Structure 1
Amino acid sequence: MTATAKQPTPTSEVEAPAHAQGLGDESSIWFQLSPLLKGKRDNPMHLLMEMAERYGPVIPINLANQRIVLLSEPEHFKYVLVNKADSYIKYFDGLKPIFGKSMITNDGALWQKIRMPQQPAFHPDMFAEYIPYFLAAIRTKMDIWSDIAKSGESVEMVEQTWTLAADMICKALFDRDMPFNPHFVFKCVKTYTDVMNHKEIRLKKQAGELFEVSEEDPAKAMEAWASVPPLVMAANPREERERTLLKMIEAAVADPNMPEFDQQQAVDEIKQYLWAGTETTALTLAWALYETARNPEAAERIRKEGEAVYGDREPTAADYSALAYTRAIIQETMRLYPPVWGLIRVATEHDEIAGKAIRPGDRVVIFSYGAHHNPRFWEAPEEFRPERWMAGAAKKQVKYSYLPFGGGKRSCIGGAMSQVENTLALSLLLRRFRPEYVGSDPAGINATVTLTPKGGLHFKIRELS
């Protein structure tokens, strides 16, 4: 970016900087879908669900110069994600400014080679090592909440859970205390992922306008975001642990047999964990706190389960397995509010799904939210029922009707770890606090790249005696 762009004056106008050039691009599926998703004020997902009910499980949609195919049946999800995974590659548009060349923006053999040295960090055997660091971050958040409770101020819960998730990732995976202001970085993430910001830039570009680069612009947010991974890598280690994700990434950089894994690759891999891993964890925990605030009997059951399982000591890996009801709360939250409401793939060849032609270049939307809320797969799908995940009830599920972390070989590398983080955080936070939801009821949904609460989730924090 130019010096002028870095230090704008109230009257200065500059051309859109490099990061902004790709925002709201005409071919972006998010730009194309945004007008369609505005059709329902409180929950735009309902419009897509109504379309699926009216027009069937495979719906080709022509939007401007792009063809989108909406899938809503689990059998078709499996077909795209598993049976013909090589014919439907990941959709990368809009991701590279965020994640660079990290594995989230790669496919095929290169993706596999980049993922391989990082995979051991997410083996379930590692979670026991991570739990003390998750707990340290949760304790820090509880101290903050204690002060907030005394002040009586209200807080936006996604920001609270995002900063907690970032702290857990830094401590557990990178052996670092957060070397950045997480509230500032959260605002940068939020600025960029709001597709309406992309659309505003796009409309100005179409009109040939020049526009000022302010602190609120996605481009400026991305500049701040790019500075975060180098800060993490340069920070002093907490304990000089040898078995961390950061050490595995550094070893891959030093491996002469992996020329693809250079220093920039290391920076970009850290980006994906501090953004994608943090946001999906944070959204699930925030929505879980929203639902337990609306269902106080569920919150009380979580408290009693914590008392019975680990009492006055801190929970361990063995205790996580015993927190069955709290885990069920997290699973049910991800069913109702899947952080990634739709998985996007791009067809690479001619194909046919349920008699509908698929053409090369078609954007195929795996509408997981629709399957999560379909009464054919779930009894009373709009109701918050954690019990559906208890005592073997989950075995009755239709395969691929529940995809909070995707499916097939490209499923989320950190999905299992995220559930550990959220189960422990929810149990400990609710044992000490009673978060009181003070926002609009029900909360609205904003469908951008992720499923976020419209206007945030506003809470008062009450400390239990």
Structure 2
Amino acid sequence: MSMIESPSSQFGEESIWFKLSPLLKDPTNPMGMLMQMSERYGPVIPVNMARQRVVFISEPEYFKHVLVTKTDNYVKYFDGLIPIFGKSMITLDGALWQKIRMPQQAAFHPDMFAEYIPYFNQAIQAKLQRWADLAKSGEEIEMVEQTWTLAADMICKALFDRDMPFNPHFIFKCVKTYTDVSSHKEIRVKKQHGELFEVAGADTAKAVESWWSVPPAVMGADPREEREQTLLKMIEAAAADPEMPEFDHQQAIDELKQYLWAGTETTALALAWALYLVSKHPEAAERIRREGEMVCGDREPTAHDYSALVYTRAVIQETMRMYPPVWSLIRTAAGPDEIDGKKIEAGDRIVLFSYGAHHNPRFWDAPEEFRPERWMGDAAKKRVKYSYIPFGAGKRSCIGGAMSQVENTLALSVLLRRFRPEYVGPEPAPLNATVTLTPKGGLKFRIRELS
């Protein structure tokens, strides 16, 4: 298979993302049609789409059924991103997934976060210096690119004991080139009509090739401090373990891929959307500043401070409710089942519409309103279980979800104590629903320094 053919064939016309595209055409909020379908036809909607049966689910109790109660009958679906993640645990299931995940689990235990926070702070300080230059120049920036480069720096420093051995702005553009599913649709349409698509295919292939070079570069870079307890060391030890023949050198490279891509993109999107929301709600930004000053003063935050940044953490949680980076979770039914009286057949694609549950007034008061307070005190205890699943649920929930919240809470607190990021794009920011929920055309900002 040539590099030109690889991306388009992996995102082939059988891809669930290709099938869903007719339902996601609203240029402002592509979630609208799915929300209307859920309201009109109920929480479980079987639909035949291009020779494939797709079942849309939007009810928390059925999220639990698929993700927890009968998880072994619903296997992970990640077709189309195999060229990016290879055979990493994000694309695996069953006993092999468990075996690959086990040696990495310790790196994400909450006890490790105190060790990581100084490295998160170093990356945030580097971003502060960059923003100081941007505040002076007054130039317009794209915020997701800014938060992606920050997230990549935090991952490299904290988990891999490396400075980024790549240009994060260039790699960010490669990431976006490949994950823009609508772009791949255009490639496929041209192919189906018998037209040549070498130019677009070559662009995509070049992006993938550039991306493939990143994990080996990280592994080959000089350590910053020769720390023993790092995720990279755990991965390398597993690859060297003769008792784990499945975990070879290629497996180690593929595991880095998922952290450097999936781990950075979801973190970056949540932080970018949070900055968008607090720009629209300056009273929230001011409350974050006051909380940070009260808790930390002039020093950098510590692990102890994280638990005290109650409101800032609530802003991150509310952001992920309103703009869940992963707006749906997709599974494939391994065998027959029944959900809400609807027959499920082996091979059905199950779309768990988490965005729909996050915005359903049955589970949330005024769901379209930005209310961080709903995550504080007694209000947080009233939440319907599984109505909020930004990191999934059950044994396949995101391994780095808790760490991502730490990264973003600290970054939001520190950045807002010095700067006032000002959103200057269209209102409301239009959405683009691909594998993740991204801002269509990006989030345009100017950085203002506080006096």
Q: Normalising by the residue count of structure 2, what TM-score does the alignment of the two structures yield?
A: 0.98
Structure 1 residue 204: deviation in Å? 1.6
- Of 5, 12, 15 in structure 2, the residue corresponding to residue 28 of structure 1 is 15
- CA deviations over 1:11-39 (Å, ceiling 9, x no partner): xxxxx43333222x11100011112210x
Number of residue pairs the alignment of both structures matches? 451
Contact 1:87 1:349 in 2 (8 A): yes
CA–CA distance in 1 between the matches of 2:141 and 2:364? Answer: 33
2:250 aligns to what SS in structure 1? helix
Contact 1:341 1:450 in 2 (8 A): yes
Asked if residue 241 in structure 1 is aligned to residue 227 in structure 2, the reply is yes
Contact 1:77 1:400 in 2 (8 A): yes
Aligned equivalent of 1:199: 185
Runs of 4+ in 1 over 3 A off after TM superposition: 213-216
CA–CA distance in 1 between the matches of 2:401 and 2:100? Answer: 18
Aligned identity (percent) is: 77
- Of 5, 15, 24 in structure 2, the residue corresponding to residue 17 of structure 1 is 5
Contact 1:213 1:219 in 2 (8 A): no
Contact 1:214 1:220 in 2 (8 A): no
CA–CA distance in 1 between the matches of 2:217 and 2:206? Answer: 18
- Of 247, 252, 270 in structure 2, the residue corresponding to residue 284 of structure 1 is 270
Structure 1 residue 198: deviation in Å? 1.1
Structure 1 residue 228: deviation in Å? 0.5
Q: Note the residue ranges of structure 1 that are not aligned, 5 or more in a row.
A: 6-15
- CA deviations over 1:267-321 (Å, ceiling 9, x no partner): 0000000000000000000000000000000000000000100101111000000
Q: Which letter does structure 2 place at the counterpart of 1:30?
A: W
CA–CA distance in 1 between the matches of 2:302 and 2:80? Answer: 39
Kindly report the root-mean-square deviation, in angstroms, between the aligned alpha carbons of the 2 structures.
1.1
1:104 aligns to what SS in structure 2? helix
CA–CA distance in 2 between the matches of 1:249 and 1:197? Answer: 34
CA–CA distance in 1 between the matches of 2:340 and 2:243? Answer: 44
Structure 1 residue 210: deviation in Å? 2.4
Aligned equivalent of 1:369: 355
Structure 1 residue 215: deviation in Å? 8.9
1:61 aligns to what SS in structure 2? strand
CA–CA distance in 1 between the matches of 2:29 and 2:19? Answer: 18
CA–CA distance in 2 between the matches of 1:67 and 1:254? Answer: 43
Q: Which letter does structure 2 place at the counterpart of 1:21?
A: S
CA–CA distance in 2 between the matches of 1:435 and 1:183? Answer: 19
Q: Normalising by the residue count of structure 1, what TM-score does the alignment of the two structures yield?
A: 0.96
Query: For the structure 1 residues 202 and 426, does the alpha-carbon distance in structure 2 shift closer, same or farther, using more than 3 Å as the test?
Result: same
Q: 1:178-189, aligned counterparts within 5 Å?
A: 178-189=164-175
CA–CA distance in 2 between the matches of 1:196 and 1:258? Answer: 39
2:17 aligns to what SS in structure 1? helix
1:257 aligns to what SS in structure 2? coil
2:362 aligns to what SS in structure 1? coil
- Of 133, 142, 145 in structure 1, the residue corresponding to residue 128 of structure 2 is 142
CA–CA distance in 1 between the matches of 2:70 and 2:396? Answer: 12
CA–CA distance in 1 between the matches of 2:197 and 2:140? Answer: 34
Structure 1 residue 216: deviation in Å? 7.4
Query: For the structure 1 residues 144 and 221, does the alpha-carbon distance in structure 2 shift closer, same or farther, using more than 3 Å as the test?
Result: same
Asked if residue 96 in structure 1 is aligned to residue 46 in structure 2, the reply is no
CA–CA distance in 2 between the matches of 1:265 and 1:434? Answer: 42
Contact 1:68 1:364 in 2 (8 A): yes
Aligned equivalent of 1:11: none
